[in-house]
A and B are shown apart, each in its own frame.
Chain A
Amino acid sequence: MKILVAVKRVIDYNVQIRIKEDGSGVVTDNVKMSTNPPDDNAIEEAVKIKEAGKAAEVVAITIGEEKAQETLRKALAVGADRGIHVKVDNIIEPLAVSKILQKIVDKEKPDLVFMGKQAIDDDCNQTGQMLSALLNWPQATFASKIEVKEKSLEVTREIDEGLETIEINVPAIVTCDLRLNEPRYASLPNIMKAKKKPIEEISASDLGVDIAPRVEQIKVEEPPKRKAGIKVANVAELVQKLKNEAKVI
Chain B
Amino acid sequence: MSRESMEYDVVIIGGGPSGLSTAIKLKQLDPSINVCLLEKASEIGAHILSGNVFETRALDELLPNWRELNSPIKTKVSKEKFLFLGKSKSLSWPTWLLPAVQQNHKNYIISLANLCRWLAEQAELLGVEIFPGFPASEILYNDDGSVKGVATQDMGIDKEGNKKDSFEPGIELLGKVTVFAEGCRGHLGKQLIQKFELDKGKDPQQYGIGFKEIWEIDEKNHEEGLVMHTAGWPLDNGTYGGSFMYHAENKQIFLGYVIGLDYKNPYLSPYDEFQRFKTHPAIKKIIEGGKRISYGARALIEGGIQSLPKMFMPGALLVGCDAGTLNMPKIKGSHTAMKSGMIAAEAIHYHLNHGDELSLYGKLFKESWLYKELFQARNVKPSFSWGLILGIIFTGIDQILFRGKLPFTLKHKHADHETLKSAKDMTKIDYPKYDNIITFDKTSSVYLTGTNHADNQPVHLKLKDPDLPIKYTLEKFDEPAQRYCPAGVYEVQKENDVNKFVINSQNCIHCKTCDIKEPSQNIIWVTPEGGGGPKYGNM
Contact = CB atoms under 8 A, between A and B. Distances in A.
B450 A185 contact: no
Interface stretch (A13-21, A120-128, A131-139, A147-155): A13-21
Given A14-B535, A30-B537, A182-B165, A189 B450 contact: no
A188 interface: yes
A189 B46 contact: no
Contacts of B447: 16
Nearest to A13: B452
Interface string B39-62: 000110110000000000000000
Contact of A191 (B43, B117, B131): B131
Given A30-B113, A191-B131, A192-B129, A12 B450 contact: yes
Interface string A24-51: 0000011110100000000000000000
Contacts of A29: 537-538
B166 A182 contact: yes
B114 interface: yes
A183 B173 CA distance: 25
Given A182-B166, A189-B4, A31 B155 contact: no
Nearest to A12: B535
A218 B166 CA distance: 43
A16 B168 contact: no
Contacts of B164: 182
Interface residue SS majority, chain A: loop
A187 interface: yes
Interface string B331-356: 00000000000000000000000000
Interface string A236-247: 000000000000
Given A182-B164, A187-B171, A188-B171, A14 B448 contact: no
Contacts of B4: 189
B117 A30 contact: yes
Given A14-B451, A16-B448, A16-B450, A31 B537 contact: yes
Interface in A88-119: none
B450 A14 contact: yes
Contacts of B535: 12, 14-15, 32
Contacts of B293: 18
Contacts, number: 58
Contact of B134 (A30, A31, A183, A188): A188
B225 interface: no
A15 B450 contact: yes
Interface residues of A, number: 21
A9 to B, nearest CB: 13
A197 interface: no
B156 interface: yes
A232 interface: no
> Is the interface on chain B under 10, 10 to 19, 20 to 34, or 35 or more residues?
20 to 34
Contacts of B131: 188, 191
A228 interface: yes
B165 A189 contact: no
A184 interface: yes
Q: Which of B117, B216, B450 has the most CB of A within 10 A?
A: B450
B436 interface: yes
B29 interface: no
Interface in B16-49: 42-43, 45-46
A182 B114 CA distance: 32
A222 B106 CA distance: 39
Contact of B6 (A185, A189, A228): A189
B12 to A, nearest CB: 14
Interface in A200-238: 228
Contacts of A16: 447-448, 450
A12 B164 CA distance: 24
B166 A184 contact: yes
A15 B42 CA distance: 12
B452 to A, nearest CB: 4
B265 interface: no
B152 interface: yes
A185 B43 contact: no
Interface in B427-451: 436, 447-448, 450-451
Contacts of B42: 12, 32, 34
B222 to A, nearest CB: 13
A197 to B, nearest CB: 16
Contacts of A21: 216
B171 A32 contact: no
Nearest to A32: B535
B95 to A, nearest CB: 31
Contact of A32 (B46, B114, B152, B530): B46
B537 to A, nearest CB: 5
A183 B129 contact: no
Contacts of A192: 6, 129
Contacts of A31: 537
26 contacts: A12-B42, A12-B535, A14-B452, A15-B535, A16-B447, A16-B450, A18-B293, A21-B216, A29-B537, A29-B538, A30-B114, A30-B537, A31-B537, A32-B42, A32-B43, A32-B450, A183-B166, A184-B166, A185-B155, A187-B171, A188-B131, A188-B134, A188-B152, A188-B171, A192-B6, A228-B436
Nearest 4 pairs of A and B residues by beta carbon: A185-B155, A14-B450, A185-B168, A14-B452
Given A30-B538, A32-B46, A189-B4, 18 more contacts: A14-B451, A14-B535, A15-B450, A15-B535, A16-B448, A18-B293, A30-B113, A30-B537, A32-B42, A182-B164, A182-B165, A183-B166, A184-B166, A185-B168, A188-B134, A188-B152, A189-B6, A191-B131
